Amino acid sequence: MRAVATAALLAGGIVAASPARAATAPQAAPTSLAPMRFLHVRSGGSTCRTDCPEWISAEGKIVMGTADALARVIAALGDRRLPIFINSAGGSVQDAMAMGRLIRAKRLAVVVARTAIAPCAASARECGEARGSAESWGAYCASACTLVLAGGIERYVSPLSFVGVHQLTEIVSKTQVKRLYSVRYFSVAGLKLELSRTLVGERRSTATTKRTADKGVDDSVDLYLAEMGVLDPMMKLTLATPARDIHWLTADELETSRLATIWVDGASPIVDDAGASGVRGEPIDARSGAASLFVAKSASPLERPVEGRPAALEASFAYRRGGGMVFATLLARDSADGTAVDVRGSGIFVILYPEGAEFRAGKIAAGEPMRVAIPVRSFCRLGRGGRAIVSFIEPIPGTAAGTNEAAHPSEPPVAIDPVAAQGAKPLFDEACPRNATASR
């Protein structure tokens, strides 16, 4: 008979105390025994079409192998960067830290939110990709889950969701194995000699105990949080909260520790008309908000005068860390006094060469900027010698406005070189990391 001992570091919420939050904290951290499941989800909202927001849904318990499963999901997306929407009560500390490091290396955002998957109609021959919605209300990220959240290049939390910590625990399992044999003996001169031995059965019994993790584990987590830029009081609260309890972090604690960097505005973290990344939120403080936003600006002269005066097309390209879109803003200004001027037409086409990707924006009002959302993967190709061509359009008389067939140029096109724009290098370095560029 022999004993086999195995150990795993786990963190899971138990009884909770309610913090001062915009929503009522649960009396206990949810405990789901189902291993974490990952899904590539596209918003099922009715206001978006081809550019519906997309994300990776991560729901359930973090177990051994969860980090490997996340790596496979991210690898399948190639150079696309989608935010991780997580809803979990915790689990394996080692896997959680591995997930966080992978997320940071890929420069992905993490959002505390739960995902509801739209049902597939019984009459449908196939459902294709997962369609769904995301909600902040009632979403939670407890214990080891906070280590995954810490890995986000930006970390989105809502006053309607919950983030909790407590002491790490070590689960030790001891398995006793009892083997039964059929033995043949030979007796001679009072001695009993074994002739053969055949295994006929085996019995196993396992006893599991939970104990507080040792100091070495706490130190490794402390170093990990420092690596991710997460400050106190998170580790102090983790060590001070018994494993049988859980401390739901207040808004001040989330902000001070920088475990949250962006507040989600509203019950849902997604905006259907904001393009493929589509995550809503406001930076928690002006300094971190400015540091996470990268903007490049340029001005190109228009070939024809506007209202008899020389004018230029100002273009700015803005990118928020962890996002999947670069937002281009275009506005014509008088070259002499800088006032906004109105260029003829109802909108613009922005065509990216050499890829040939085409994006359209309608005119909001005279003298108002026009905005175009460009996927990061398309924008990054401009960093290798590409150009953005802006073509001004207006409806052809007698045709339906708003259709590509009903548009013709109202002004000569303008070529923009984003790489030569002021502030371009930091923007391209952030939006187009080398490992993503090399995979194209």
Say if 201 falls within a structural domain: no
For position 332, which CATH number holds? 2.60.40
Contact 1, 178 (CB under 8 A): yes
Residues 279, 341, single domain; the answer is no
How far apart, in whole angstroms, are the C-alpha atoms of residue 18 and residue 254?
A: 15
How do the pLDDT tens digits run along the chain, 440 residues long?
Answer: 333 333 444 454 333 333 334 455 555 555 556 899 999 998 877 666 666 788 999 999 999 999 999 999 999 988 788 899 999 999 999 999 999 999 999 999 999 999 998 876 666 555 556 888 899 998 999 999 999 999 999 999 999 999 999 988 765 556 778 888 888 887 877 788 887 888 888 888 765 555 555 677 788 999 999 999 999 999 999 999 988 889 999 999 999 999 999 998 778 888 765 544 568 788 887 766 777 889 999 999 988 888 788 988 899 999 888 877 888 888 888 888 888 888 777 778 888 888 788 888 777 566 788 888 888 888 888 888 888 888 887 655 554 444 444 444 556 788 899 999 999 999 998 888 754 433 32
For position 6, which CATH number holds? 3.90.226.10
Q: Is 6 helix (H, G, I), strand (E, B) or coil?
A: strand
Residues 240, 323, single domain; the answer is no
Residues 248, 355, single domain; the answer is no
pLDDT at 17: 34
Closest CA to 150 of 115, 113, 108: 108
417: containing domain: 293-438
Of the three residues 225, 259, 288, the one that is the final residue of a domain is 288
pLDDT at 1: 37
Residue with token string 């959680």: 96
Residues 313, 221, single domain; the answer is no
Residues 330, 408, single domain; the answer is yes
How far apart, in whole angstroms, are the C-alpha atoms of residue 283 and residue 155?
A: 10
Give the global pTM. 0.72
End-to-end CA distance of the chain: 57
Say if 194 falls within a structural domain: no
How far apart, in whole angstroms, are the C-alpha atoms of residue 97 and residue 67?
A: 9
Residues 254, 390, single domain; the answer is no
How many domains does the chain divide into? 2
How far apart, in whole angstroms, are the C-alpha atoms of residue 214 and residue 212?
A: 6
Residue with token string 């050499």: 354
Contact 160, 153 (CB under 8 A): no
pLDDT at 208: 56
Residues 277, 317, single domain; the answer is no
Say if 192 falls within a structural domain: no
Cβ of 95: how many Cβ atoms within 10 Å? 24
Residues 326, 304, single domain; the answer is yes
Contact 165, 295 (CB under 8 A): no
pLDDT at 295: 92
Structure tokens at 204: 């196993």
Say if 340 falls within a structural domain: yes
Of the three residues 288, 305, 321, the one that is the final residue of a domain is 288
Residues 280, 301, single domain; the answer is no
How far apart, in whole angstroms, are the C-alpha atoms of residue 51 and residue 395?
A: 24
Of the three residues 235, 265, 288, the one that is the final residue of a domain is 288
Burial degree of 122 (CB within 10 A; 0-12, 13-18, 19+): exposed
Residues 80, 216, single domain; the answer is yes
Say if 313 falls within a structural domain: yes
pLDDT at 209: 52
Residues 65, 133, single domain; the answer is yes
Say if 124 falls within a structural domain: yes
Cβ of 14: how many Cβ atoms within 10 Å? 17
Residues 303, 231, single domain; the answer is no
Say if 26 falls within a structural domain: yes
Amino acid at position 48, single letter: C
Say if 261 falls within a structural domain: yes
Q: Is 189 helix (H, G, I), strand (E, B) or coil?
A: coil
How far apart, in whole angstroms, are the C-alpha atoms of residue 218 and residue 63?
A: 19
pLDDT at 5: 38
Phi, psi dihedral angles at 25 (to 5 degrees): -70, 145
